Structure 1
Amino acid sequence: MDWLTENWWLFWLGVALVLGAIEVATVDFVFLMLAGGAVAGAVSAGFGVPFPLQVVVAVAVALLLLVVVRPMIKRQFTDGLVDHHIGPAGLVGRDARVIQAVTDTDGRIKLAGETWSARLAAGSTPIAPGEEVRVIAIHGATAVVEPVQHDPSS
């Protein structure tokens, strides 16, 4: 035990590693901030600060990180305003080719290399196979489409 009392910095680094491992499992940035406090405790131990003050430094830094840094990191990773255009939402606005006549209730289109169920947007007339359509929404596994208006001058 004498070895540990002479090397508190190793104890703090061990705590930081354990907290870092827990953070990997939770990904909530709480344990990462606590690990930062443990690293601060290790640094203070490395400078020869007595153990009770090491604890105060570790707790103070961890609280500071939790209050100041964690909200900024959470905001960066959970920004709901950015549309990343992945999944079905990424298909909205793309053009597709009709492979089975599309009506108000049924049809098939080739979209992004896959065959999708499709139906027309309200007010559109049925579209024959071979025509181009544009996806305006995705409802479940069904694409809501409208005919593509071609520019007569091109």
Structure 2
Amino acid sequence: MWWLIAVGAFGIFGVLTSFVEMGMFAVGAAAAAAAAGFGGNFLIQCIVFALVSIALLVFVRPIVVRHNNSPGSRTGIDALKGTSAVVLERVDENGGRIKLAGEVWSARSLDATAVFEPGSRVDVADIVGATAVVM
């Protein structure tokens, strides 16, 4: 019975805090509850909990972390870097305007000698403050 309470506690804590590790502990507690159901003593239950939890942390957690840190999951200004934009007002080293992701942004060229005329497409190299650095 205590292992099922632990499953619920780990599950609730995991949902409230978004710690994926808590879900792994919940699975370990469920495995320990299953061991208890099959008549395993408390030592066996604890060993099952530890082995299942550690196995999930060692083998599954790296996959989850890699998936969450993939380039497809970039947000905010990181998601805008490397995208394409259209020049609205002439862009040079001193400034200009571009349309980026449906919004008008101030911009300047990465290369001091580069000049981009209205209508041309540029790539966003970086975002500095509220200014897109383009090339």
TM beyond 0.5: yes
DSSP-derived class of the 1:61 partner: helix
Helix, strand or coil at the partner of 2:108: strand
Tell me the TM-score normalised to structure 1 length. 0.66
- The sequence identity of aligned pairs, in percent, is 36
For the pair 1:43 / 2:15, whether they are aligned, the reply is: no
Letter of the aligned partner of 1:138 in structure 2? D
**Offset of residue 137 of structure 1:** 1.8
Judging changes above 3 Å, is the alpha-carbon distance between structure 1 residues 21 and 112 closer, same or farther for their aligned structure 2 residues? same
Question: Quick one: which amino acid aligns to residue 60 of structure 1?
Answer: L
* Distance apart, 1:66 and its partner CA: 2.5
Q: What are the within-5 Å matches in structure 2 for residues 113-128 of structure 1?
A: 113-122=102-111, 123-125=113-115, 127=117
Q: CA deviation at 1:70?
A: 2.5
How much does 1:41 deviate?
Answer: 1.1
Segments of structure 2 that go 5 or more residues without pairing to the other structure are: none
Query: Are 1:96 and 1:112, in contact at CA under 8 Å, matched by a contact in 2?
Result: no
Deviation (angstroms), 1:39: 0.5
1:64 corresponds, among 55, 73, 94, to 55
18, 32, 40: which is aligned to 2:23? Answer: 32
Equivalent-residue separation in structure 2 for 1:126 and 1:62 (angstroms): 56
Which of 84, 88, 92 aligns to 2:82? It is 92
Matched, 1:139 2:127: yes
Give the CA deviation at 1:94. 1.4
Determine if contact 1:133/1:145 at 8 Å carries over to the other structure. no
Distance 1:14 1:41 in 2: 12
Structure 1 window deviating more from structure 2 (13-22 vs 137-146): it is 137-146
Counterpart among 94, 97, 103 of residue 92 in structure 2: 103
- The higher radius of gyration belongs to 1
Q: Which runs of 5+ in 1 are unaligned?
A: 1-9, 147-154
Number of residue equivalences: 132
Q: CA–CA distance in 2 between the matches of 1:144 and 1:72?
A: 34
Give the match for residue 112 of structure 1.
101
* Amino acid corresponding to residue 135 of structure 1 in structure 2: D
Question: Which of 57, 73, 81 in structure 1 is aligned with 2:64?
Answer: 73
